[in-house]
Amino acid sequence: MNRTNEIVKVSIIGIATNAVLAAIKIAIGTISGSIAIRTDGINNLGDSLISVLTMVGARLSEKEPDRRHPFGYGRIESVVSLIIGLVILYAGFGAFRESILRITNPVEVDYSAPAITAICIALVFKVALGIYTKRRGKELESTGLLASGEDSLHDSLMSTATIISALIYIFAGVNIEEYIGILISLFIIKTGIDTVRETVSNLLGERISVGLVDKVKDSIMSFPEVLGVYDIALHSYGKERMIGSAHIEIPEELKVAWIDNLQRAITHKVFEDTGVEMMGVSVYAVNSKRSASEEIREKIAEIVSEFSEVISMHGFYIDITDRAIRFDVVTDFGIKSRAELARRISERVGKEYPDYEIEVHVDYALTDQQLT
């Protein structure tokens, strides 16, 4: 199954359905004088635009990497979702403005049985389209389809409210469609804000799921030479591309050629197991004479545990030749300064081991896995 072709198929269905619904609703709204029905139809035209954007985004995301964008164009789908969010916002503010104007300048409306029937049928199609688009969006992991499907379901609320206000007008003679329009427009505005916020968060780079991180770690740990895996960083460049890096602990006696082969093997296996492209596998050396180093490591671990900001410690190594002790600590994002924390830890450990130069590097907890 070609993912892009499937997204295009769903988008074409959305374009055709919304175009037909828009024509029907705009015609009925114009004849009856109903702002709610006409606004609903104009909103369907906007939905057609959303489907076009989703389709274009899917095609553009297939472009091969080039000099300017070496990681490809996969994130274009998130950009499309952002545009969709702005379109939803525009539609919401437009509906709000027109509803307010109708309150100050009321217009007589004339609902007919055929008109109400047509809107009810359109509502059924809109709900079905929304459910279908969201389901396919989840299956294809398309943010554009998900946003489009969510918008369709929200639009069905507008149609429902329009039908309710029409029935109230027919049987009670009370026209409340302008007020219904205000409530619906506020709901649409909220949907647009949520879509924009979620998409911007995705573009900025969100924390990767623990499940994928665990798979990458398990793949790397399958090599007997690897004693530990830390600082796994994963960056999404669209559905089809995930870039990663990690630090590994290995025995200090391994030669450069062996390490080179190990890094290449890790890169190949992780891609086979998870689809993640490992662009960097950095190395921590682990002391071979564990008896002496373990005693110092345990003592320093006790000292580091005194700092409430520290979650864990790794990458510990004693350089006998240069008389240096090096290690990394992990902290969450609440601290004010990593440099200040590193200085305090270095000073505290230095008092215990004054004959050594203390090198402390502070890492943020990039994944939930590092918080445990």
Per-residue pLDDT of the chain (372 residues; tens, 9 = 90+): 677 788 888 888 888 888 888 888 888 878 877 766 777 777 777 778 777 877 777 777 778 888 888 878 878 878 888 888 888 888 788 878 877 887 887 766 666 777 777 778 888 888 898 899 889 888 887 877 887 788 788 777 777 877 787 788 778 877 777 787 788 778 778 878 988 898 888 888 777 777 888 999 999 999 999 999 998 988 888 766 889 999 999 998 889 999 999 999 999 999 999 999 999 899 999 987 666 678 888 999 999 999 999 998 999 999 888 899 999 999 988 888 999 999 999 999 999 999 999 999 998 887 765 555
Buried b (16+ CB within 10 A) or exposed e, 113-147: eebbebbeebbebbbebbebbbebbeebebbbbbb
- Count of positions (residues) in the chain: 372
Q: What does the domain layout of the chain look like in residue ranges?
A: 3-204, 207-286, 289-366+368-372
Q: What is the Cα–Cα distance from 217 to 367, expressed in whole angstroms?
A: 12
* CA distances from residue 222 to 131, 215, 248, 261, 367 in whole angstroms, order as listed: 42, 11, 12, 15, 20
pLDDT at 273: 94
Contacts of range 127-130, beta carbons closer than 8 Å, 24 or more positions apart:
127/152, 127/153, 127/156, 129/13, 129/14, 129/17, 129/18, 130/155, 130/156
Q: Which two tokens stand for residue 95?
A: 């509906």
pLDDT of residue 1: 61
CB-based contacts of 185, cutoff 8 Å, min separation 6: 92, 93, 94, 95, 96, 99
Task: Determine which helix (DSSP H) or strand (DSSP E) holds 352, and give its type and residue range.
Answer: helix 338-352
- Give residue 248's region: left, alpha or beta (phi > 0; psi -120 to 50): beta
**What's the pLDDT at 245?**
92
Superfamily of domain 289-366+368-372: ANL, C-terminal domain (3.30.300.30)
Question: Which token pair is 149?
Answer: 């499907």
* Alpha-carbon gap, residue 193 to 290, rounded angstroms: 56
Cα 134 to Cα 138: distance, rounded to the nearest angstrom: 6
Q: Which CATH superfamily is domain 3-204 in?
A: Cation efflux protein transmembrane domain (1.20.1510.10)
pLDDT the model gives residue 132: 92
CATH numeric code, 207-286: 3.30.70.1350
CA angle 64, 67, 73 (to 5 degrees): 35
**Alpha-carbon 9 to chain mean position:** 23
Return the SS3 of 59.
helix
pLDDT of residue 267: 95
DSSP single-letter state for residue 305: T
